[in-house]
Structure 1
Amino acid sequence: MEGLGITVTEHLLIHQKESPAATGQFTRLLSELIFSAKIIAREVKKAGLVDILGLTGDINVQGEQVRKLDEFSNRVLIYRMQRSGVLCAMASEENADVIEVPDDMPRGNYILIFDPLDGSSNIDVNVNIGTIFSIYRVVGERPYVTMEEFLRKGSEQVAAGYFLYGPSTMLVYTTGKGVHGFTLDPTVGEFLLSHPDIRIPEQGRIYSVNESNTNYWDGRTKKVVDYFKSTENARRKPYTARYIGALVADFHRNLLDGGIFMYPADNKDPAKPSGKLRLLCEAAPLAFVAEQAGGAATDGRERILDIRAAHLHQRTPLFIGSRRDVETATAIMKGDV
Structure 2
Amino acid sequence: MNEVPSSVNPALMRTVDRLAGVCAQVSRRIARGGLDEHLGAAAGTNTDGDAQKALDVIADDAFRAALMGSDVRDYASEEQDVVVTLNKGATLALAIDPLDGSSNIDTNVSIGTIFGIYPAGATPEASFLRPGRELVAAGYAIFGPQTCLMVSFGDGVLKYVLEPETQKFVLLGTIPRVVPESAEYAINASNYRHWPAPIRAYVDDRVAGIDGPAGRNFNMRWIASLVAETHRILTRGGIFLYPSDDRKGYERGRLRLVYECAPIAFLMEQAGASATTGTDPVLDAVPTTLHERIPFIFGSANKVARVATYFDLPSQETSALFNKRGLFRA
- TM-score normalised over the length of structure 1: 0.89
Shift of 1:188: 2.2
2:94 maps to 112
Shift of 1:65: 1.3
Alignment of 1:8-157 (within 5 A): 8-13=1-6, 16=7, 22-81=8-67, 83-101=68-86, 105=87, 107-140=89-122, 145-157=123-135
Rounded Cα–Cα distance in structure 1 between residues aligned with 2:273 and 2:115: 19
Rounded Cα–Cα distance in structure 1 between residues aligned with 2:173 and 2:218: 25
1:264 maps to 243
Structure 1 pair 57/30, CA: closer, same or farther in 2 (3 Å)? closer
Rounded Cα–Cα distance in structure 2 between residues aligned with 1:310 and 1:56: 30
TM superposition outliers: structure 1 runs of 4+ over 3 Å: 232-235
Q: Is the 8 A contact 1:224 1:333 kept in 2?
A: no
- Say whether residues 1:303 and 2:296 are aligned partners: no
SS in 2 for 1:305: helix
1:207 maps to 185
SS in 1 for 2:254: coil
SS in 1 for 2:246: coil
Q: Is the 8 A contact 1:300 1:334 kept in 2?
A: no
Rounded Cα–Cα distance in structure 2 between residues aligned with 1:84 and 1:242: 42
- Say whether residues 1:249 and 2:228 are aligned partners: yes
SS in 2 for 1:50: coil
Shift of 1:235: 4.7
Shift of 1:96: 1.1
Rounded Cα–Cα distance in structure 2 between residues aligned with 1:167 and 1:264: 29
SS in 2 for 1:11: coil
Shift of 1:9: 4.9
Shift of 1:196: 2.3
SS in 1 for 2:294: coil
Structure 1 pair 195/256, CA: closer, same or farther in 2 (3 Å)? farther
Shift of 1:28: 1.1
Aligned match for 2:157, one of 179, 182, 197: 179
SS in 1 for 2:115: strand
Rounded Cα–Cα distance in structure 2 between residues aligned with 1:314 and 1:262: 18
**Among the aligned pairs, what percent are the same residue?**
34
Rounded Cα–Cα distance in structure 1 between residues aligned with 2:102 and 2:168: 25
1:192 maps to 170
SS in 2 for 1:309: coil
The number of aligned residues is: 314
Shift of 1:139: 4.5
Q: Deviations over 1:76-118 (max 9, x none)?
A: 011111x1420111101111111111xxx56420000010111
CA RMSD of aligned residues (A): 1.7
SS in 1 for 2:5: helix
Q: Is the 8 A contact 2:40 2:103 kept in 1?
A: no
Rounded Cα–Cα distance in structure 1 between residues aligned with 2:121 and 2:76: 17
Rounded Cα–Cα distance in structure 1 between residues aligned with 2:244 and 2:136: 28
Structure 1's unaligned 5+ residue stretches are 1-7, 17-21
Q: Is the 8 A contact 1:86 1:106 kept in 2?
A: no
Q: Is the 8 A contact 1:278 1:313 kept in 2?
A: yes
SS in 2 for 1:114: strand
SS in 2 for 1:178: coil
Shift of 1:167: 0.6
- TM-score normalised over the length of structure 2: 0.91
Q: Deviations over 1:262-321 (max 9, x none)?
A: 0011122x2331121000110110001001101000001100001111110000111100
Q: Deviations over 1:107-146 (max 9, x none)?
A: 4200000101111100011100000000001254xxxx34
Structure 2's unaligned 5+ residue stretches are 319-330
Aligned match for 1:168, one of 143, 146, 149: 146
